[in-house]
Every structure is written in C-alpha cells, then in structure tokens.
Chain A
C-alpha cells in the first residue's frame, strides 16, 4: 500500500447558494505517491471541480481535501513549485515567448534568470521545440503550444501533476504523439498524477487506475490494471466503464 499523496474524504462542493445542486457530492478517494490516476466522466460531471479542489483553486463546501497531508486551499503558498498543471487549452501568455512561458513557474518560484532559462531551454529541447524557443504563441501551432504548456508544468519539477483534458483540443494524430511523450515524462519524473479525460481509450492508455465519475462527481466505478493486464481484461474494463456511464444516463 502506497502513502496517500492526494486524499478526498467525503468531499462535497456546491456553487452559489446551498440549494442542493452539487458539483461534487460525498466524494472519497486517494491517490498514492507516484500513481497516475485517470478520472473519467461525461461533460458536466464535476471532473474539473475535482481538479480545482486538488489544485487548491477552490475550497470544498464539506469534507476534507489533503495533498501531501496539507490543505491545498488553506496552505496555498506552501504548494508553490509542488503542483504542475496542464490545462485543457494551452493558456500561454501571448506576450511571452515560448521559453519565457516555460520559465513562468520558475520565475514565480524566484529561480535566478540564468537558471530558469537553462531549465526552460532543456524542457523545450526535450519536447522538440528548441528551434521555437523565441517564438511567440501566435506563431506556434496548436500542438506546439500544448507542448509548451506541458514543458511549463514539468519545468517546476512538480511532485503533483494535474492534467485537465490536455489533448482534447488537438487532432488525433498530434494527440496520440503527445500522449505517448507525456506518459514517458510522467514515468521519468515519478510525479503523482491525476489525469482528467472524457475518452475511455485515453484513460486506458494513460492511467494505472481509472475512476469513473457520475453526476454530481462521485465514484461510479473504479478499475486498476498494469502492463500485465491482457487485452481481453482491458476490454472487460472498457465494457464496465461503458456500463457505468450508461447506468448514470439511465438514472
């Protein structure tokens, strides 16, 4: 049993007045150190709310969220440099070149200029973008911009990596290449990861554990697997996920 790096204990989240409309309801799960968990669910099931709760960007209405044993919302500044996030869209600052965007987290972490440029340069090189280091975002393609945003998240050497459907806006060929590259990087850095997606195939490709959410965010199905899991077992998992999603629809 691994140590829980991320833990949700009976977490609920409502927005606005407490009228009973939950985005997350009584959600409990944990993620062990170095584990990559895929959270799967349909649009509007509260995946992104869960993501923001882990990131400490919002506070739970009830229950307890802990990351490395601390409250990510209340101990917000303590997590500086410990959490890296890859968003659905690249969210690059248009006034910064590619290398300056990658260096943003390091800069906010007070790394010296030479050091942050060296680290950012290495990450761009790692992601095959060294020739575009000085380019501004408008001069880069969608795939390149998302690679810059991945480099930005990894550049701070995060203990926790959060990804919110980072490949959903890309074409399938670009997304496939980037997914494989991303998985290599996660394994290489040993970061604990939560990967939010609405694609079953992507969840099976990236995660070692899959949590299927129904609406409002609560676990409808959970599956663990590894490299040894056979293709037929994976198909069974795929069918079970589909059933879990369909059950919710019927409900």
Chain B
C-alpha cells in the first residue's frame, strides 16, 4: 500500500523529447527560413521560374476570395476524403476477413501486394478507359491506390492485438459485440489513425494526378491551367492550397489521436 505510483512515467525528461511549443516554434522557423530563401532567389531569377513571396501570397488571397476557386479547392478536398473513406471501409472489411481467415488472407494478401505495384498513373488510364463519370473515375483511382495501405495497417493492428488481453476479456464471457467494443476496437484504433495519416499524403498526390488528366475542376485541373499559362505563382499558390488542406486534416487527425489515445504516456503521443 505504500509503493509510489510512477507518476513521471512517460513524461519528457533528460532532454530526450523537446517540449511541444518548442517543436512548433522550430517548425514555423524552418518554413519561414524556406520562404526567405525563396524570396532571395526570386531577386536573381526570372519571375516565371521563382515568383516572389508577395506575388504568390496575392494569388493565394485571390483563390480564397473567389467562389469558383474556393469551390475547386473544396471539390478536391471532398474527393480526397471520399476516396479515403471508401478505401478505409473496403480496407477494414478486407482486413477483418483476412484476420479471421488465414486461408482467405493467403489469397487476398498477394492481390493487395500486386495492387501496390501498380502506379497511380496506370489506374488513371484504366479508370478513364473503364468508366465514364468523372467523379466515379477519381473515386475509383483513390480507392485503388490507398486500399492496400489501409488493409495492411488495420490487419497488422488486428494481428498485434494482445493475446493476454484477449484471454482476460474472454474469461468474462463477453458477447461478440462486447468483445469488439471493449477490446478489438480500442486495440486497432491507433493503427487506423496512423493509416489515415499515412494515406492522406498519398491521396493528395494521387488526386492531383487524377484531376490533371481526367477532371474539369479541382486543384489538379487548376494546376494544369497554370502550366498552360506558364504561371508559376499560380502553380505554387494552388500547390499550397493542397498542402494547407493536408496540414489541416492532419492536425484534426492528430487532435483526435491525442484525445482518444490520451491514456498513453505523453512521450508516446503525436506531436
């Protein structure tokens, strides 16, 4: 009754982990440094190669103040989220089925590995040949390119579930639903959140390629317009729109992660 709880466990100490505020400051400083370097280069290089930071900023402001360009940004964001959601649902189903049946896993695993080897651009070409609707084409491309990562990540989390905890929970004779709710879901949740973060970056790259080739709106389409106009400031501004979207969604996922995984020692949580 006298032993003390290890209250300090997991807290950053001894210089192992820097405080979060400091990491944020260093991140902002790095980005500001990049902007300064870019601005300096822009003094010596023609604007069609390196437009000035103020010129890019003006283009960004223009994008966020005109409805049709805001709509383009939202369309791309929606496509990314819809594609990820589709891949997540399908990937989860496949992961659970593979987790429950080793025999099925032996068939599905090689197919997912094979899929991983197919370049995103090949899926773009295939989707254009196979389907008519632009939105379905993009959805299909997004799902096919992000599906393996979701399946593998969730399957790994499912298989890594503690056998000790499984046995302990089973000793209370739970119903199938309660076993899923109290043990399986909390066990695989960190893996699901990681899969979303990893796939978000992939999805933002793929959606641009898909829109570049086969869409009449969205960030990819706008980037194509800037390329045809040889407008570097516009190209950088539209790229930044996509980067902002990814950063915002990543921030939201990290906030969710820090909330639902608050039981973890501080040093194990996301920065």
* A and B interact: yes
Q: Tell me, in angstroms, the Cα distance from A107 to B186 when the chains sit together.
A: 16
Q: Judge whether A189 is part of the interface by a CB distance below 8 angstroms.
A: no
Asked, given contacts A139-B5, A144-B3, A177-B1, whether A57 binds B170 with beta carbons under 8 Å apart, the answer is: yes
Residue A222, interface by CB 8 Å: no
Q: Which of B7, B165, B168, B171 contacts A139 (CB 8 A)?
A: B7
Interface size class on chain B is 20 to 34
Q: Which A residues from 72 to 90 make CB contacts under 8 A with B? A: 76-77, 79-81, 83, 85, 87, 89
Instruction: Give the interface SS of chain B, mostly helix, strand, loop or mixed.
Output: loop
Closest chain A CB from B180 CB (angstroms): 12
Residue of A nearest to B167 (CB): A57
CA distance A94 to B187 in the complex (A): 10
Alpha-carbon gap, A136 to B170, bound state (A): 22
**A156 in contact (CB, < 8 A):** yes
Find residues 214-260 in chain B having any chain A CB closer than 8 Å to their own CB. none
- Does any Cβ of A come within 8 Å of B37's Cβ? no
> Given that A94-B264, A136-B263, A138-B264 are contacting pairs, would A105 and B5 also be in contact in the complex, using a CB cutoff of 8 Å?
no
Whether B164 sits at the interface, judged by CB under 8 Å, is yes
Closest beta carbon of chain B to A228's beta carbon, Å: 30
Nearest A residue to B2 via CB reads: A177
Flag whether B6 is at the interface (Cβ < 8 A): yes
B residues less than 8 Å from A249 (CB atoms): none
Cα A91 to Cα B183 in complex, Å, equals: 12
- A174 interface hit (Cβ, 8 Å): yes
Cα A109 to Cα B171 in complex, Å, equals 12
Nearest CB in chain A: distance from B13 CB, A:
15
Q: Which interface residue of A79, A95, A104, A109 has the most chain B CB atoms within 10 A?
A: A95
Say yes or no: is A128 at the interface (Cβ < 8 Å to chain B): yes
- List A contacts of B265 (CB < 8 A): 138
Given contact pairs A80-B173, A95-B263, A109-B172, A144 touches B164 in the complex (Cβ within 8 A): no
Say yes or no for A55: interface residue by CB 8 A criterion: yes
- Is the beta-carbon distance between A93 and B171 smaller than 8 angstroms? no
Interface: A135 (CB within 8 A): yes
With contact pairs A55-B171, A57-B170 given, residues A107 and B182 touching in the complex (Cβ less than 8 Å) = yes
Is B4's CB within 8 Å of the partner chain A?
Answer: yes
Check: A113 CB closer than 8 A to any chain B CB. no
B9 within 8 A of A: yes
Is A108 part of the binding interface, using a Cβ–Cβ cutoff of 8 Å? yes
Task: Name B263's contact: one of A91, A96, A105, A156 (CB within 8 Å).
Answer: A96
- CB-CB under 8 A for A93 and B5, given A77-B173, A87-B164: no
- CB contacts (< 8 Å) of A83 on chain B: these are 171
Inter-subunit contact A135/B5 (CB<8 Å): yes
Contact B173 A79 (CB under 8 A): yes
Check: A229 CB closer than 8 A to any chain B CB. Answer: no
A172-211 Cβ-contact flags toward B at 8 Å (1 or 0): 0010010000000000000000000000000000000000
- Supply 8 A–B pairs (Cβ within 8 Å), ascending by A: A55-B171, A80-B173, A83-B171, A87-B168, A128-B1, A138-B264, A141-B5, A141-B6
Closest 6 CB pairs of A and B: A80-B173, A91-B168, A136-B263, A108-B174, A128-B1, A108-B172
